[in-house]
Structures are given as C-alpha cells and as structure tokens.
Amino acid sequence: MNHKPKLTMSDSADLIADLQSRLVFQEDAIDHLNKTIAEQAGQIDILQQQVRYLYDQIKQVSEQQSQTGGVEIPPHY
C-alpha cells in the first residue's frame, strides 16, 4: 500500500517559505565566507612578504659571516 500524504496549498506555501528562508541564510553565509577568504588572502600575502624579507635578511647575515670568517666571539669569552 502506498500512502502518500497529500499536500495542501497551505503546506506548499509553508514549504516554499521555508526554502526561501534557507536560501537567504545560505546566501548570507556564503557572502560572509567570501569576505573572510578575501581578508585571509590579504593576510597571507602580507605574511609571505614578511617571510621573504626575513629570508633575505638571514641570507645577508649568513653571507657576511661567511665573508668575515664566521661568527666572531666577543672578547669577554
């Protein structure tokens, strides 16, 4: 036996209203996530620039040390 409940016009309207509400919520959530991703992409770019700068600084110090014969020990040691 196949007993499917019949939907009334009121039931259909309620379902449509529920779907519309869910759609609005999902669109808002997607917009929020997109903004968050854009902000994080900017932060990642800044961090990558900082890492490159630090890498270059370390490389320069390392090259200077290799040219001067290594790390100089302070005279009090």
Per-residue confidence in pLDDT tens, the chain, 77 aa: 566 777 788 889 999 999 999 999 999 999 999 999 999 999 999 999 999 999 999 999 988 888 777 666 777 76
DSSP string, 2-68: --PPPPPHHHHHHHHHHHHHHHHHHHHHHHHHHHHHHHHHHHHHHHHHHHHHHHHHHHHHHHHHHHH
Q: Where do the structural domains in the chain lie, given as residue ranges?
A: 42-67
Q: How far apart are the first and last CA of the chain?
A: 95
